Structure 1
Amino acid sequence: MAADPAQARIRMRDPGPVSGHMPGYVRAAQLVAHGGNPNMPGWNAQDIPDQSGRIAVVTGANSGLGYVTARELARKGARVVLACRSEARGNEAVGRLLAEVPDAIAEFWPLDLGNLGSVREFVDELPYEGIDLLVNNAGVMALPHGTTVDGFETQFGVNHLGHFALTGLLFPRLLCTPGARIVNLSSGAHALGNIDIDDLNSERNYRRWTAYGRSKTANLLFTHELARRLAAVGSGVVAAAAHPGYAATNLQTAAPKMQGRKGAERFMEIGNRFFAQSAEAGALPTLYAATAPDVRPDAFIGPRILGWRGAPAKSWRASWTLNDQAGERLWAASERLTGVTYEGLKSKKRAAGRPRSGRRCGRPVRRYG
């Protein structure tokens, strides 16, 4: 990496008109003014287009937002791969999904995003040559300091690097599938964190919420840079991002439970009960980003009302998540750390000849079986 700290470090400030550090009432007014989209009033799961014949991979699909996302895609006809770390919980989720949607096509495949060996094994074992939809949903939040199997800080390693590697290894199957999409789950909490290329593992001063915000910033920068590179080679693959707002899932209580902090766990449970929207509502931005025909590359979709709850809408994002230089540096660091490069995106200059979008997969696509 660059030796000059001024070059290597990306200090995230937001000089633009929508700042994460402005007074709350000003930001709220801007979110109301700019967060809504009249083209999608009241959009819900019933509005998902038919997904018959499509193959969707959803990470972290055994519970919460991931489970709802997988279930609703299956309800609309997609064959859904529930990619989860726990075999017991993954198989239980498949059984629950089939009980709710008897004609669904769903299956569990083991995937541990905190272990790059597991990511490679998942991709090697997955039998489908074409992937229509990849939803990078799994994540951890505000955990005590820890490291993945490969030695990365847990939140950055799982939330970003694991998904960067998974997307890259599956990329040839997405690139050769007409209409393919990649959706990365971020959070409004991206405003809490910056990216320091010299300290991606937060070794200097670990703060669990700052580290979480950094990982969510990484999700948005990854989406931005991926969308830029796809456009440069003329690909029709769409990369977008989404966030659930404040949705009641087990993610909020996981960290306090791990630390034995009963008071904090109870506080989160009360917040979920009285203030959060349901997981069903929280999954709508993801489902919109994954299926709505008018989603543009690098879109960021979240709840309409102040980014907390409501129907899907274009969401506010900090200007640093649209920084081309930051995206390039994070991409280069992610390739170095994971050892994964994206076949077909080796050059950001448009390839000569026909665009890559719609290219046939190298071998017959295994759709079912």
Structure 2
Amino acid sequence: MGSNEHWDVRRLPRADGRTFLVTGGNAGIGYFVAEQLAGTGATVVIGSRDAAKAETALTSIRSRVRSADVRSARLDLADLASLKASVDAMGLDRLDAVVHNAGVLLDDPPRRETAEGNELMFGTNHLGHFALTAWLRPLLTPGSRVVVTGSFAGKQERLDLDDLQSTRDYRPKRTYGRSKLAQMVFGFEFDRRLRAAGSETACVVTHPGGALDSLTPARPPLHERTAGERLRGLPLGLVVQGKEAAAWPAVRAVLDPAVSGGQMWGPRAFGLRGLPAREPVREHLSDPDGAARLWAASVELTGVDPSM
């Protein structure tokens, strides 16, 4: 659906004077989103709960991007009560885009909870970003973008609106997929509410496709890759990609003026790898009735409403 005719992932448009926040920008895909955005001349703020890892990421970006204007801010999405203070401490008077990238993925039981008693993956990946959006909204400039990062796995899931916290049947991979699905449903619903309110801010949903460390360029000491790992990963490069390429859909959603709110962008080849392209939005992702129920539950659980 999307055309890459006029979009070059290696020659991004300038964004001098603009300010972008990337949650989880200290590692993985989020790091490469931050690195690529820093190359446009924008001010990039990395939101991270680990100050030491954030500093390592900043050092890496500065070593690769001449005159990079990057800094970090403490941000713990699993601690809802801390988010307003974290936003205040950023000292921003404007924000041109936020990339909701940070996430928690647990591989094994037992089920874990946040300090507020929410299931950890749902509480961090969805509720944390939901609440953060509410606190950031006064800073969003006309024409700004809220970029919500979903996942390929999330597209395959269905929400259980009667058990959002996975209390009855906790399976880590399914719970993770549902938490990412909740993010995507939130993104489409938020854009509908922005349009209804006449806002000039747009919300765009993206997903990175399949991304492996073995296919990811080295950024020592943040990420190191041996020759053996690289060789073992080469066959998988026919199907998936590294995390540098996985950052492309989010970066395009921030920078490309042709991208509109309510759209979804992901890798071009089967949604798993390749240049960023617009994807069709499946019905279960944009169902307004289910989204309204998720929104109401999220407001009740966080105590804030991003649409207000």
TM-score by length of 1: 0.74
For residue 179 of structure 1, the aligned residue among 132, 140, 143 is: 143
The answer to whether the 8 A contact 1:129-1:173 is kept is: yes
Superposed, 1:3-22 pairs within 5 Å as none
Superposed, 1:1-369 pairs within 5 Å as 36-37=1-2, 39-41=3-5, 43-143=7-107, 144=109, 145-174=111-140, 177-249=141-213, 274-275=235-236, 276-342=240-306, 345-346=307-308
Going from structure 1 to structure 2, the CA distance change for 1:41 and 1:341 (only over 3 Å counts) comes to: same
Highest RCO, 1 vs 2 (Cα 8 Å, sep ≥ 6): 1
Residue 173 of structure 1 deviates from its aligned partner by 0.9
Matching residue's letter, 2:13: P
In structure 1, C-alpha distance between the alignment counterparts of 2:72 and 2:25, rounded to whole Å: 9
Say which is worse superposed, 52-61 or 195-204, in terms of deviation.
195-204
Residue 191 of structure 1 deviates from its aligned partner by 3.2
> How much is the aligned-residue C-alpha RMSD, in angstroms?
2.0
Matching residue's letter, 1:107: R
In structure 2, C-alpha distance between the alignment counterparts of 1:88 and 1:75, rounded to whole Å: 22
The answer to whether the 8 A contact 1:40-1:312 is kept is: yes
Q: Which residue of 2 aligns with 1:254?
A: none
In structure 1, C-alpha distance between the alignment counterparts of 2:84 and 2:40, rounded to whole Å: 29
Could you list the per-position Cα deviations for residues 188-237 of structure 1 after superposition, in whole angstroms to 9, with x for gaps in the alignment?
11134222232111000001121112111111110111011110111110
In structure 1, C-alpha distance between the alignment counterparts of 2:275 and 2:114, rounded to whole Å: 35
Report the structure number with the largest CA radius of gyration.
1
The answer to whether the 8 A contact 2:265-2:276 is kept is: yes
Going from structure 1 to structure 2, the CA distance change for 1:178 and 1:146 (only over 3 Å counts) comes to: same
In structure 2, C-alpha distance between the alignment counterparts of 1:324 and 1:270, rounded to whole Å: 46
Runs of 4+ residues deviating >3 angstroms: 41-44, 268-274
- Aligned residue-pair number: 289
Instruction: Give SS of 1:240's match.
Output: strand
The answer to whether the 8 A contact 1:303-1:311 is kept is: yes
In structure 2, C-alpha distance between the alignment counterparts of 1:338 and 1:165, rounded to whole Å: 6
Could you list the per-position Cα deviations for residues 140-179 of structure 1 after superposition, in whole angstroms to 9, with x for gaps in the alignment?
22443211121111111111000001011101111xx122
Matching residue's letter, 2:183: N
Residue 47 of structure 1 deviates from its aligned partner by 3.8
Matching residue's letter, 2:177: G
Matching residue's letter, 1:294: A
The answer to whether the 8 A contact 1:193-1:211 is kept is: no
The answer to whether the 8 A contact 1:57-1:135 is kept is: yes
In structure 1, C-alpha distance between the alignment counterparts of 2:177 and 2:5, rounded to whole Å: 29
Residue 69 of structure 1 deviates from its aligned partner by 0.7
Say which is worse superposed, 130-139 or 190-199, in terms of deviation.
190-199
Residue 45 of structure 1 deviates from its aligned partner by 2.7
Segments of 5+ residues of structure 1 without an aligned counterpart are 1-35, 251-267, 347-369
Q: Which residue of 2 aligns with 1:261?
A: none
In structure 2, C-alpha distance between the alignment counterparts of 1:232 and 1:42, rounded to whole Å: 31
Q: Which residue of 2 aligns with 1:367?
A: none
Q: Percent identity?
A: 39
The answer to whether the 8 A contact 2:191-2:261 is kept is: yes
In structure 1, C-alpha distance between the alignment counterparts of 2:165 and 2:37, rounded to whole Å: 35
In structure 2, C-alpha distance between the alignment counterparts of 1:127 and 1:54, rounded to whole Å: 15
Matching residue's letter, 1:297: G
TM-score by length of 2: 0.89
The answer to whether the 8 A contact 2:147-2:254 is kept is: yes
Residue 42 of structure 1 deviates from its aligned partner by 8.2
Instruction: Give SS of 1:307's match.
Output: coil
Matching residue's letter, 2:175: A
